[in-house]
Structure 1
Amino acid sequence: MTVYSRYVALGDSQTEGVGDGDDRIGLRGLADRLAERLAAIEPDLRYANLAVRGKLASEVHAEQLTAALALRPDLVTVVAGFNDLLRPGFDADEVAGHLDMMFAALTGSGAVVATLTFPDVARITPLARPISGRVTALNQRIRGAAQRHGVIVADTVHYAVVTDPRLWSPDRLHAGPIGHQRIADALAHALRLPGADDRWTEDLRPPLPARGALSTVVGEIRWATTFLGPWLGRRLTGRSSGAGRTAKRPDLLPLRDRADTAGAERAAGGP
């Protein structure tokens, strides 16, 4: 059994944890959830999360790779490229090139590296149908780069559950708490962690009732007004959701340091 003691997460908003908590109570997310599972196996696990929302694959490469290598991790997750999919000038080869270079550097350092493929966003929101081909093209290149460098892939795209609306936050761009947990479980399964299995692929119960045409149209209009419009506004003005933000956990630290644990015990009436 492989035991990991130094886990570093690279990426954008999904890895930062957007959609799973908020800036007031704190973000959890797929990487935090995976770290919790790793810490159950190795209590001395140290974990860093370098992800920042809004980052393109090129920015993750330029801004996070060197810091990650300096931490000398034995396990790294790299999840990047989704923000690129939504840009007008998307180039699958360019995005995959940045992923390839990160995979090469991280595996070359001796770390085990894991990544994942992206779901067909058109099955989450019909208005995203024009970029379905982009998702397919990027996923193909992720698999190719991963194979070249011995990177482990949680290939989520093949399972219907990943596009169940209940896994996604209202903006349909970020996973919700259930979705972040399923992604963490998919990575744990791909890494063959003790106790991990393929239950993450199972459909949620009960199944959702079929939506009528009118309900679908109304829902799409509401989503476009509430979420798509503001997102397009940021793109047109060159603003990023990550502007001015830094990594939430830039150093390798125990999952819960002693001060956090003591505070939790006091709140619970403990010593």
Structure 2
Amino acid sequence: MSQEHLSEQVEHFFTNLWQDYISKTPSAPKVHQVLGQGAEIINDHVAFRTFNIAPVRLEKLAEIFENMGYFANGDYHFEAKKLRAKHYEHLNPDYPKIFISELLVEEFSEQAQRAIADMVASIDPREVEKTEFLYSGTHWQVSHEVYEMLLEESEYAAWMSAFGFCANHFTVSVNRLPGYEQLQDVNDKLKQEGFKLNTSGGEIKGSPEVYLEQSSTMADRIEVAFSDETALIPSCFYEFAKRYELPDGKMYTGFVAASADKIFESTNAKGE
């Protein structure tokens, strides 16, 4: 595939992904309006969630990105949340990094495992080969009761049951945001405009010492039609990242597990 065709494919993918994301995250265009004020906003990374069950294992979803010129560049483990993750980068630094996490399903109760296995069994493996699978949403219908049951064990599993495959969040690159030097300035502007920020582990997670600072809004709440009723639940959120140079002068491109652990809590249904 020519470089030009590959670029078109990547840009087409992110355009469609963004449209799907803002349909679940009505505050996202307002974030752009408040921070960008008409300037283009460069995204640092986009995050996806999945289960460690075939055919939707992390590495399987990653193949879609690898086919678009991405390469793996970091492994992460989240013991308390029972997750593992990897991040992927593109040779073109203007394209967002990709952060994919997967739930270690076998570490949950039999009841939760059964519910998740039933969801995954509804997926046609041929669909997972397609780029658009990454914004295809749910391939199942679960009850609000199942959502609540999963929520007791894992906010992540409950979120997946309601939203399936889509961007969990986009992330503004503060380094490339005109008019802002510090992440604190971004946070102050957002709060001034009425956005609620994730305060788990502090408003700013990380520090210049670990070469990455992150903050995020709390997820929007939207109505989701479950099989038995409609409920207002947290959907997706927007993150903000400021990166720092390593001692060798190169910009740090990885992630900090301790900070990402707190960012996951932006979709907490009980984090009011």
**TM bucket, shorter chain:** under 0.3
Q: Which has the higher strand share?
A: 2
Q: When the two structures are superposed, what TM-score results if normalisation uses the length of structure 1? A: 0.27
Q: When the two structures are superposed, what TM-score results if normalisation uses the length of structure 2? A: 0.27
Q: Which has the higher helix share?
A: 1
Name which structure has the greater RCO, CA cutoff 8 Å, separation 6+: 1
